[in-house]
Structure 1
């Protein structure tokens, strides 16, 4: 009985992958990264600015039908923001804090594709999950000594004996929206918007959510002609 079940499982798996037409590839590009930041009680939305960043990694394209596919990926993705904090009095110099965060990110996009010219135009959406691996926060001003903080991805607040360390929650999750064009020979161009939905700050009275606009180029191997 176990032998029959094993043979049936193998047969179904082979049939699924035969139908699915899985292709693998690489992808890399530019991130215009920033954050939505709210601080204080009652909360005040901070004025954040974009920082240039990048992403690079692997993708798989699983054709579910002629027009639909599932496209998971695994990326090294850099995020962050620049935040200007005004001085406490009028005319006092502001302080600039620049945050760089590096994640391993797993997006899973559901795509609709349509034949157009020498390839297919596509659009889709899906969730993503990311795990923080490294980061820096640089604080600069004209009249004070510049400071640099190492980011530790732990869900705890800064203690007095770790003044050079800032903490960020290790997990980030949200939604991803993507559109682009795929040539028959495998070259892919795309734009995507990543919207963080989880608060990555462990500090009281503070909310931080990642977001970025990405522009990518990729190549899918073993494309079916």
Structure 2
């Protein structure tokens, strides 16, 4: 139902957007720092990843409001550490560590507001992101989910009407990865920072 709702909202906004709206295509690339937030005590460290793809922007002249959408390849993951391994007298002799890598085709759809300045235009944006898993590198015992939904919030600057530099934070809404231990099942959700640069044609 969530997927149907967000898709319907996106299509409705396109339909009602006036014909004079400014439409631009571009390419976007950047880096992200991501981790997995678990429902229990699991130490999770950020890992670096790459993102890149194509984008489109619709802005209503005079109002500064519009839509920003893209189709991106994105790699996310996390370095995980579970409970330490101890010997019979309580000495730490090792730890359970695992690094996960998850590759997605991601489709973010953001509402965008851009200030109408001349050379440098600050902007803010927020919206959902739909990611489809296309590859992974995970340890035995982990179970990944093939579809991920997130909410993104960010800000950026547009230079000379051609170059956009932005930063955003994303919250995963569904359980991305799970692993069963001896006592319970642990579920992780994506969390990530992303910095990108885009060139608009």
Name the TM tier (shorter chain).
0.7 to 0.9
1:167 offset after TM fit, Å? Answer: 2.8
| Higher-Rg member (1/2) | 1
1:7 maps to: none
1:73 maps to: 70
Please give the secondary structure, in 2, of the residue aligned with 1:199.
coil
1:201 offset after TM fit, Å? Answer: 3.1
In 1, Cα distance between equivalents of 2:84 and 2:141: 23
1:118 offset after TM fit, Å? Answer: 1.4
Instruction: Return closer, same or farther for 1:102/1:15 CA change in 2, 3 Å cut-off.
Output: closer
Please give the secondary structure, in 1, of the residue aligned with 2:115.
strand
Q: Are the counterparts in 2 of residues 172 and 198 from structure 1 also a CA contact under 8 Å? A: yes
Please give the secondary structure, in 2, of the residue aligned with 1:112.
strand
In 1, Cα distance between equivalents of 2:115 and 2:16: 25
Q: Are the counterparts in 2 of residues 86 and 92 from structure 1 also a CA contact under 8 Å? A: no
- Mapped pair 1:182 → 2:158: yes
* Higher strand fraction (1 or 2): 2
Q: Are the counterparts in 1 of residues 33 and 46 from structure 2 also a CA contact under 8 Å? A: yes
Q: Which runs of 5+ in 2 are unaligned?
A: 1-13
1:52 maps to: 48
In 1, Cα distance between equivalents of 2:153 and 2:55: 16
After the TM superposition, which of the residue ranges 87-96 and 97-106 deviates more from structure 2?
87-96
1:16 offset after TM fit, Å? Answer: 5.7
Q: Are the counterparts in 2 of residues 64 and 70 from structure 1 also a CA contact under 8 Å? A: no
- Alignment RMSD: 2.2
1:65 offset after TM fit, Å? Answer: 4.0
In 2, Cα distance between equivalents of 1:20 and 1:45: 49
TM-score after normalising by structure 1? 0.73
1:87 maps to: 84
Q: Are the counterparts in 1 of residues 152 and 171 from structure 2 also a CA contact under 8 Å? A: yes
Q: Which aligned pairs between 1:1-225 and structure 2 lie closer than 5 A?
A: 18-38=19-39, 44-66=40-62, 67-89=64-86, 90-116=91-117, 118-137=119-138, 149=139, 164=140, 166-201=142-177, 205-221=185-201
In 2, Cα distance between equivalents of 1:35 and 1:56: 21
Q: Are the counterparts in 2 of residues 33 and 52 from structure 1 also a CA contact under 8 Å? A: yes
After the TM superposition, which of the residue ranges 185-194 and 97-106 deviates more from structure 2?
185-194
Q: Deviations over 1:131-168 (max 9, x none)?
A: 1000102xxxxxxxxxxx4xxxxxxxxxxxxxx57431
TM-score after normalising by structure 2? 0.81
